Structure 1
Amino acid sequence: MVSTAAFAEIATLAGEPARAAMLQALMDGRAMTAGELARAGGVTPQTASGHLARLTEAGLVAVEKQGRHRYHRLASRAVAQMMEGIMQVAATRAVPGHRLTVGPRDAALRRARTCYDHLAGRLGVALADMLVEAGHAEIEPEAATLMPSGADLLASLGIDLAGRTAGRRARVLCRPCLDWSERRPHLAGAVGAALCSHCFAEGWIRRIEGSRAVAVTRKGEEALRRHFGIVVT
């Protein structure tokens, strides 16, 4: 069982405003430099280095070295799930005298965004809904199952799940992730990650600079309508 002290340490590390901003910036799944994270956190590079050292020591952030450069990313999917959970709880807090708004206020984030390595927002939920309605997947509050017809659909698009679910770094094939803005599940696990990667690789979506939001391209709109029968507004 996790000790109270360990729990409090992680909560304190993630709760400091600059560190929270850095962790949120890493939620799009990409690795970032200390300088980029300093700008995200609104602090000096020296202060950012201190924050990142503490986050790395606690196992919230991992560092990758490439030549002279050091890149930081979330240490695991568990950290990303923790951050998404905190944002869900924070988004439901009612401010006295203000109308409650759940999820991000940014319209682009609500439409489509990355949630670590999978798709979220209306796009992510629409994909999950389509798979369920067509009988390609089953989603329960705590678990999700990809049916054989769903695997066939993904295979027809050139998405191979075998490599993502085998070997030492095997991961859960399919799991639900409660969407921060839609309050309904989108798909995570190997299926969610594979769909997200495919959408980027095929040019169906593109990143919006400085944000976790992604834009659906014209090519993507046509492909999503043709292959999944969905239109994201």
Structure 2
Amino acid sequence: METSRSEAIVLTAMDYRESDRIVTLFTLQHGKVRGVAKGAKRSVRRFGPALEPFARLSVELVVREGLSSVRSADIVTLYPRIRQDLRSIGLAGYAVELVDRYLPDGAPSPRLFRLLTAYLERLDGGESVPSDRRFFEANFLNILGYRISLDRCSSCGVDLLPGAERRVGGAGTVLCAGCGRYGAPIGPDTAALLARCVATGRFGAVLFPPAFLQEVGPLLDGAIATHLTRPLNSLAFLKQIEPD
């Protein structure tokens, strides 16, 4: 079996048997890989403290169907400032759980890898604001082919002009005023900012005022939840530490 080296973000890690760890990695070259790191709990030279959630690594591995073999891991960064702040831990955990739950095994996505690392860097820099989570979600859905349609009613198909009234429909869809008369409103300015999120790849370029966050939140939450088979553990934690 051929050994390769790849950049990776740790999505999950758990102890296995007496000295091993099973990890799920989002690698730049191979996509999502689940593997066993033999002796990881006692081999400081080969692994040290590397195999922790949302750590960024350079890993040496043998990719196989089923469980791959993680031979060694060098730390690029553990994002230490994230780990000093409860809110940042919650947001980083949410981001990596989303990637783990959505991404199939063995499907490389360099754009998603760049988005995830940019978000972790933003959190680690202490610059993150509530808009960044929604920016991450909008681009996450777009990259994976689940972009929210803002220009056409998801029910009747009528075109929604820039100033048109929009409403939140089921499963994170956007409806016209007639089809979504009971849904929460999405103002034209909120829709314009959401569209800008996927037109730029730079965190901080789009800022949602508090009132706009209240509008865009249910829409993105619904769009994400509709593609999941069970609730996100990290989302429950986030709701505990920042209920608004």
Normalising by structure 2, what TM-score?
A: 0.30
Query: Would you tell me which structure has more helix in proportion to its own residues?
Result: 1
Query: Would you tell me which structure has more strand in proportion to its own residues?
Result: 2
Q: Determine which structure has more spread, i.e. the larger CA radius of gyration.
A: 2
Normalising by structure 1, what TM-score?
A: 0.31
